[in-house]
Amino acid sequence: MNYYVETILVYAGVDIIACLALNLQFGVSGIVNFSFIVFQAAGAYTAAVLSMPPDTASGMSFQHYVLGLQLPFPIPWLGGALVGGLLAIPVGVLLLRRLRSDYQAIALLVLSVIVNTVITNYRPLFNGAAGLSVIPPPLSERIDPYTATYQYLYVGITFVCCLLVLFVANRIVNSPYGRTLRAMREHELAASALGKNLVALKLTVFVVGGIIAGLSGAILVGFISYWAPITWLYPETIVLFAAIIVGGRGNNLGAILGGLLVPLGFEEITRFIPTGFGPPGLGPAIQWVAIGLLIIGFLWFRPKGVLPEPRRVFNEAGIEESPFMEVRAS
């Protein structure tokens, strides 16, 4: 497997995991989590500092960071997922509790920008703007990361994580709990008038999403060995939103499809622009205009996405027919 293919596969896995998490929050529950990327970053930073040696160790003196516990795999990944989930609690309690949903979205957007600003300017925590580098890849003490075996292994672990997250997401979406989340998305007031505790519902789904986002960050940072504020600017969240909107809000398969197409397409689009063509900012400009047009175009022409949320039909015995049978457009 060449490095390019490996990179594509790992990125695709990370994006799919992130999209499944965001789909639970945005697609299923209607929580517009504009600070999603912060939770991915929390997982990445945590996994990094749990696996790195202390910053006093030789060769690390060029950067400053907390912890540096050199813990073996998979503890850093579990730690990343845990911190992603823990971070969701205060954020959820503060911002999801009383605000109207559009203000929640704005508050979360602002949070995303601000957390990035703080991490950029405060060096002792995660080395500020320069970020963390030379993060040891998981299991690198046992297997040489530059071998083909390791590449297969990393892609394999990523794939297993994808399946695990899909399993969890499917259980949630296809359960009565998921149905209540969808009801909350459709009409919050009516849901609360029917005995639904909106705060608890939002908090649980926020935490679950945070855990999965944290895991995605841990997988990514183990692969690229580098993490800095510039890798998790707030527009990264918008790319994931575009993926969900294109793939189909509320549909896990849609989230996977969007996660495969949009973020990867976004990264790859610049490959097709001949180098030296146009001003230096042209590549990113085309990327962002494409993302913006995707979002606006889909919201206008096909708001339910390529794979719309399936309609749930119950058979005579009172059992819901498998939604996978009905992925057709409605």
Q: Which residues within the stretch 12-71 sit at the binding site for another protein (CB under 8 A)?
A: 30, 32, 34
Written as six digits, the tokens of 259 are 């996660």
> 239 near 231, Cβ under 8 Å?
no
CB of 253 to another protein, least distance (A): 17
Segment contacting another protein (CB under 8 A): 12-20, 44-52, 263-271, 294-302? Answer: 294-302
User: Is residue 4 involved in binding another protein (CB under 8 A)?
Assistant: no
Binders in 92-151 for another protein, by CB under 8 A: 94-95, 97-103, 105-107, 109-111, 113-114, 117-118, 121
Segment contacting another protein (CB under 8 A): 10-18, 154-162, 197-205, 253-261? Answer: 197-205
Written as six digits, the tokens of 126 are 């995660």
Contacts of 44 (CB under 8 A, 6+ apart): 80, 217, 218, 220, 221, 227, 232
Among 163, 197, 273, 324, binds another protein (CB under 8 A): 197
CB of 146 to another protein, least distance (A): 35
Measured between alpha carbons, how far is 237 from 144 in angstroms, rounded to an integer? 33
| Total residues found in the chain within this entry | 330
Burial of 168 from C-beta contacts in 10 A (0-12 / 13-18 / 19+):
middle
146-185 footprint of another protein as x/- string (CB under 8 A): ----------------------x--xx-xxxxxxx-xx-x
User: Is residue 231 involved in binding another protein (CB under 8 A)?
Assistant: no
Question: H/E element holding 227?
Answer: strand 226-227
Among 5, 124, 163, 311, binds another protein (CB under 8 A): 311
Written as six digits, the tokens of 130 are 């320069």
Q: Which is nearer to another protein, 80 or 250 (CB)?
A: 250
Measured between alpha carbons, how far is 175 from 89 in angstroms, rounded to an integer? 23
